[in-house]
Structure 1
Amino acid sequence: MPGNTGTEYGIYYFRKSITLNAKPSTFKVHVSADNRYKLYVNGQLVSIGPARGDNYSWNYETVDLAPYLKSGNNTVAALVFNEAQFRPVAQVSFRTGFMLQGATAAEDIINTNKTWKCTNEKAYLPYPGWFPIAASKGEIVDMNKLITGWKTTDFDDSKWTAAEELFEALPKGRGDGFGWMLMPSLLPQMELTDQRISTLRKATGINVPAGFPKAKVAITVPPNTVVKLLLDQDTLTNAYLNLAFSGGKGSSITMRYAETLYEKRTEGRRRKGNRDEVEGKDFLGRADSVISNGKEGQAFTTLYWRTFRYIQVTIRTGEMPLTINDLYGTFTGYPFRLKAKLNSGDEELKSILDIGWRTARLCAIETYFDCPYYEQLQYIGDTRIQALVSYYNAGNDTLARNAINQIDGSRLPEGVTQSRWPSNGNQVIPGFSLWYIGMLHDYWMYRNDESFIKGKLAGERAILGFFEQYQQADGSLKDVPFWTFADWVNGHGWDGGNAPKGADGSSSVLDLQLLYAYEWGAEMEAKLGMPAYSDLYRKKADQLKQTIRKKYWSEEQQLFAETSERTSFSQHANTLAILTDVAPEKTWQALGNKIMNDSKLAQCSIYFKYYMHLALAKAGFGDQYLSWLDVWRDNIKLGLSTWAEEPDPQVSRSDCHAWGASPNIEVYRTLLGIDSDAPGFQKVKITPHLGKITNISGTIPHPNGNIDVAYSYTGTKWNITIDLPQKITGTFVWKGKDHQLKQGKNSFIL
């Protein structure tokens, strides 16, 4: 937009009309913008983007416009917006800009240049206030100022100005890297599915017609009236909100969005109570607001999607009545398709999987992120678990590859990664860099794509090189900088997510994470990288293992301590001791019992229970798996439709944190027993932990097809069938005895 600095808040329209002699069979273009765009052809929405990245890897989408074009006159139009200082923390920006380029010479007629027209939309203002803390702002839209019809072919743009050319948009590696280093997005377009709002919970100031809002039912608000409607989606969702209305010149319509309602404040953090209950509670949440111009057929759609279970609609009319013609959402998310199946008579377990899948979907759009409502940031600790949910439930690794690329590109000169990326602000959690090495190892084991991981080993070496700077002569870490977050733990000497450190600056939790990463690194280097690195990491791992045993083992408590003073103990340290084999196998049972039953230990949150459950299954307690799910049962009892972030869901900030979706891995990997036993999932190991279950079956997607298992007890014998994809073999472990598996169907009566 001419005269625009590119750094201020603004909404801009760009359009160009072209004449085609015939409808083309294909018409591919590359398109991108800063911050974001919505692309239309002849009034139809065809693309939203770009997928979030950073200036060093700025995404562009490739879109075929042919289905939307026709013989004769056509208009391609784009809405581009820059939220400037109000943009989400996850949104990186160079300056406002828009690019569209034909994929071949046949489409060059549409390239962005001075033949495009543009204008600045003056109807928008950012909604005042600072809520939520890291996600995008709401909007105030004055329909009296809004330009309408600009997407269509017959719109008169003669008074619009010619667009200004900034500089040539170049792919990464071409040119000096100024501006945006353009990369083709790995991702498909996000899902867009219309979604009716389920329930009207309250209405004041009006009698609402039957059927609203589940059905398209008009509501007319009389003049000089204030109306409040409390709407309930019944489950949390991510959606663009769509509002159609007429009349009511000067009337305002404000929509507030919330995950839940809050109990009246007494002291400390507000409690949420049961999420299904609304009486006597306060509504707190972000907002959008629209001012009516009084005309018929007005329409508003949010620039970006909103997260909500509850919507509070406040309507204030002036001298004219206002009619709400429709109000609904358009759900959006990464287009995952659930392929895993569980057949069980346990309805509670199926409900846990349903809620976990919803949680995982709401935390995955153009990146994985911790939570959709508050932050929308791709944290490594969360993302490792989310990627495994994607592998086990959808058999999809595209978003995981995107995440690995982005995290790898976030590394600082010291070698450590950012804790979350993309982001317009720095944050470093060194332990998350170690979990990133775990992400690489997971991908290597579960997805058949060795070359992708081979290309990431330089980053793994850089991370381990960073930690080497802080290792003492015995291998133990001392005074690791930045935020050494490990888990949200209440009390027990933990502070702000940091495990206790001893007087010498060391922590067993961080030492054990480093050991784990050395073990993963050694395995990957031996097969994909350099044997010298594998040997080095094995030596460092062996040294660190001996140091941890000597430094942190308490003979008195028969536990691994958190510090060399051996005065504080946690589930975390002992979990990691089992997983890394620091704890000798003969001690696993005793340690497992203490992890499960010693309430004096610092307790794992819903996040770190993923690792704790892995350790308990390894220690031989897998048959007790269903008894470990009480925190998820408590969430259900409180009416949550997704999993809360923190140990106490009554005061948890976020009601939707995908790190809590780990049962969507564990039910298939621990209970049904299906796991990878070789890189690329080219061998399978199936070790079920059924406990008291006597009839259950399930399916997970595999890079070569599906893996199906079925277990049925007749009263005297077990009938077991295991169906493996082509070219896949493995081992079935039943009561400590190995049975070989071949490709195709395997049957056992045991």
Structure 2
Amino acid sequence: MVDLARKPRAYLVRVTADNRFVLYVNGVRVAAGPSTGDIAHWRVETIDLAPFLRRGHNIVAAVVWNGVQPLKLPANPKVWQIRMAEGAALMKQTAPNFQQSVATGLHIEGKGDAAILSTRLGGWRVRRDEGHGFENGYAQLKKWFYVAGPSEIIDASKADFDWAGPVEIGPGWVDAVSAPEAARRTLVDDPLPQQSYVPVSPGKIVRGDLRGATRFPGRSLVVPANSKVKLLLQRDAMVSAYPQLDVSGGAGATVKLTWSEALNDADLKKGDRNLIEDRKIFGVHDTFLPDGQERTFAPCGGGPGAMPKSRSRPRGSRWSCGACAPLKRAIHSSRQAVLPATTRRSRGFSTSAGGPRASMRTKPTWTRPIGNSCNIRATPGCRC
């Protein structure tokens, strides 16, 4: 928590993470990144938090995730051993193949009054999100070569939906710790602007086996208990989007969202995107497991989608749907173009609790979360 005597005019922080982050202030999504680089050119960007701050108590929080699986190599590996390890990793990797990683962590460097948020000063708390994980996309497709972003699984009965709130709820919150190995990264200023995050239409129903399905997603849809339903939504234009599905009820259900830029014929070949009747969807899917409460399911990563398809076996669930698309960067964050690095700045990072996805509340330089993802939040409690 950051206490402010007055709303600041400017509150600048430089932020990055290994491997990906989304930054929140008082529950509002502020920024996401970093754009793709490499260990010698790790992107860091400057964000002004002032528009999102207020007089009094403020919560700065971030969700950080890392699906990079390190290659299993002997000491001083030969080229052929590296190639063999890369091939074996195709069926296990849970990050885009081009992603590099040193250790999962968050790095924030505050300027002026915002220095209180610097991760090197301490004050960050971290908790692993046990309900959010990743699956290998290549294993889902099997017939096709695939090295892009992983599919995601969100289990609502285990996920932490309140991590960015004003208080820590539930066990597992610990102080974040520094990660000295992060010094291997060389930070460089990110030349790309922060991406826009705006609502876009998820498309329209073009096929479904539920009565009244065509009114979805404009209106909510009730799926009868103990049934299996398939809905096919089509967008006329491709977008790189983060799907969002609002669900109530449906404890014990399984909801899958599959993305593909076109449907496939009997030979799994794609053609005219307007052909629907005798075609099937074939692509990577995300999985949501409702717990019966009102929940919003939103994967960390996005996918270029034209035709999301959902299927479930819910116990009386109500669905509504939407999508938010990052429009300003050249390409969606997990598939961004790598531009030539320019100015080199500082070295240093810090991490806490270690591993792929974590929610983090303010504390150290680079903080290491443990597990698939973690939530990190700021709790210095100082007045500026």
State the TM-score, normalized to the length of structure 1. Answer: 0.40
Aligned residue number for residue 263 of structure 1: 265
**Paired amino acid for 2:123:** T
**Paired amino acid for 1:80:** V
Aligned residue number for residue 381 of structure 2: none
Q: Is the 8 A contact 1:36 1:50 kept in 2?
A: yes
What are the within-5 Å matches in structure 2 for residues 157-168 of structure 1? 160-167=173-180
What are the within-5 Å matches in structure 2 for residues 288-299 of structure 1? 288-295=286-293, 297-299=294-296
From 104, 108, 119, the equivalent of 2:115 is 108
**Paired amino acid for 2:318:** T
What whole-Å deviation, never above 9, does each CA across 1:163-184 have from its counterpart, x for those lacking one?
0112397xxxxxxxx4210111
Number of equivalent positions? 313
Aligned residue number for residue 615 of structure 1: none
1:247 partnered with 2:249: yes
The alpha-carbon distance between structure 1 residues 291 and 365, as it changes in their structure 2 partners (threshold 3 A), is closer
Please list every run of 5 or more consecutive structure 1 residues that lacks an aligned counterpart in the other structure.
1-16, 170-177, 336-360, 367-371, 379-401, 410-750
CA distance in 2, matches of 1:262, 1:158: 46
What are the within-5 Å matches in structure 2 for residues 321-332 of structure 1? 321-324=316-319, 326-332=320-326
Q: Is the 8 A contact 1:31 1:100 kept in 2?
A: yes
1:137 partnered with 2:137: no
The alpha-carbon distance between structure 1 residues 184 and 404, as it changes in their structure 2 partners (threshold 3 A), is closer
The alpha-carbon distance between structure 1 residues 377 and 117, as it changes in their structure 2 partners (threshold 3 A), is closer
Shift of 1:157: 6.9
Q: Is the 8 A contact 1:47 1:189 kept in 2?
A: yes
**Paired amino acid for 2:205:** L
Aligned residue number for residue 211 of structure 2: 207
Aligned residue number for residue 403 of structure 1: 339
SS in 1 for 2:51: helix
What whole-Å deviation, never above 9, does each CA across 1:169-214 have from its counterpart, x for those lacking one?
7xxxxxxxx421011111111122211122101111x21255322x
CA distance in 2, matches of 1:302, 1:140: 8
What whole-Å deviation, never above 9, does each CA across 1:559-587 have from its counterpart, x for those lacking one?
xxxxxxxxxxxxxxxxxxxxxxxxxxxxx
Aligned residue number for residue 28 of structure 2: 44
What whole-Å deviation, never above 9, does each CA across 1:112-151 have from its counterpart, x for those lacking one?
1432110111112323551461111111111000112111
The alpha-carbon distance between structure 1 residues 404 and 84, as it changes in their structure 2 partners (threshold 3 A), is closer
From 185, 190, 194, the equivalent of 1:185 is 190
Q: Is the 8 A contact 1:263 1:272 kept in 2?
A: yes
What whole-Å deviation, never above 9, does each CA across 1:250-284 have from its counterpart, x for those lacking one?
1111000001111102xxxx432321011111211
SS in 2 for 1:108: helix
CA distance in 2, matches of 1:84, 1:52: 13
Q: Is the 8 A contact 1:127 1:287 kept in 2?
A: no
What whole-Å deviation, never above 9, does each CA across 1:310-336 have from its counterpart, x for those lacking one?
11110112xx30110x2121112335x
The alpha-carbon distance between structure 1 residues 141 and 26, as it changes in their structure 2 partners (threshold 3 A), is same
CA distance in 2, matches of 1:157, 1:39: 21
Indicate the structure (1 or 2) with the bigger Cα radius of gyration. Answer: 1
Aligned residue number for residue 283 of structure 2: 285
Aligned residue number for residue 234 of structure 1: 236
Q: Is the 8 A contact 2:257 2:286 kept in 1?
A: yes
Runs of 4+ in 1 over 6 A off after TM superposition: none
What whole-Å deviation, never above 9, does each CA across 1:594-643 have from its counterpart, x for those lacking one?
xxxxxxxxxxxxxxxxxxxxxxxxxxxxxxxxxxxxxxxxxxxxxxxxxx
From 43, 66, 84, the equivalent of 1:82 is 66
Please list every run of 5 or more consecutive structure 2 residues that lacks an aligned counterpart in the other structure.
70-93, 345-384
Aligned residue number for residue 447 of structure 1: none
What whole-Å deviation, never above 9, does each CA across 1:452-509 have from its counterpart, x for those lacking one?
xxxxxxxxxxxxxxxxxxxxxxxxxxxxxxxxxxxxxxxxxxxxxxxxxxxxxxxxxx
1:304 partnered with 2:304: no
**Paired amino acid for 2:281:** F
CA distance in 2, matches of 1:158, 1:263: 50
Shift of 1:158: 7.4
What are the within-5 Å matches in structure 2 for residues 284-683 of structure 1? 284-295=282-293, 297-317=294-314, 320-324=315-319, 326-335=320-329, 364-365=331-332, 376=335, 378=337, 403-405=339-341
Aligned residue number for residue 719 of structure 1: none
The alpha-carbon distance between structure 1 residues 179 and 404, as it changes in their structure 2 partners (threshold 3 A), is closer
CA distance in 1, matches of 2:40, 2:280: 44
Shift of 1:237: 1.5
**Paired amino acid for 2:282:** L
**Paired amino acid for 2:116:** I
1:27 partnered with 2:11: yes
Q: Is the 8 A contact 2:205 2:213 kept in 1?
A: no
CA distance in 1, matches of 2:102, 2:186: 11
CA distance in 2, matches of 1:293, 1:248: 7
What whole-Å deviation, never above 9, does each CA across 1:320-358 have from its counterpart, x for those lacking one?
30110x2121112335xxxxxxxxxxxxxxxxxxxxxxx
Shift of 1:300: 1.1
The alpha-carbon distance between structure 1 residues 404 and 128, as it changes in their structure 2 partners (threshold 3 A), is closer
Aligned residue number for residue 399 of structure 1: none
Aligned residue number for residue 61 of structure 1: 45
CA distance in 2, matches of 1:273, 1:23: 55
CA distance in 2, matches of 1:62, 1:183: 11
CA distance in 2, matches of 1:253, 1:110: 38
From 106, 114, 117, the equivalent of 2:125 is 117
Shift of 1:377: 7.3
Shift of 1:302: 1.4
The alpha-carbon distance between structure 1 residues 377 and 195, as it changes in their structure 2 partners (threshold 3 A), is closer
CA distance in 1, matches of 2:341, 2:110: 26
1:219 partnered with 2:212: no
The alpha-carbon distance between structure 1 residues 168 and 312, as it changes in their structure 2 partners (threshold 3 A), is closer
The alpha-carbon distance between structure 1 residues 209 and 134, as it changes in their structure 2 partners (threshold 3 A), is closer
Aligned residue number for residue 428 of structure 1: none
CA distance in 1, matches of 2:22, 2:340: 27
Q: Is the 8 A contact 1:81 1:96 kept in 2?
A: yes
Q: Is the 8 A contact 2:205 2:214 kept in 1?
A: no
Q: Is the 8 A contact 2:137 2:149 kept in 1?
A: no
SS in 2 for 1:152: coil
CA distance in 1, matches of 2:242, 2:287: 14
Shift of 1:155: 4.1
SS in 1 for 2:339: helix
SS in 2 for 1:403: coil
The alpha-carbon distance between structure 1 residues 157 and 32, as it changes in their structure 2 partners (threshold 3 A), is farther
Q: Is the 8 A contact 1:117 1:157 kept in 2?
A: no
Calculate the aligned-residue CA RMSD, in Å.
2.2
Q: Is the 8 A contact 2:103 2:181 kept in 1?
A: no
**Paired amino acid for 2:236:** D
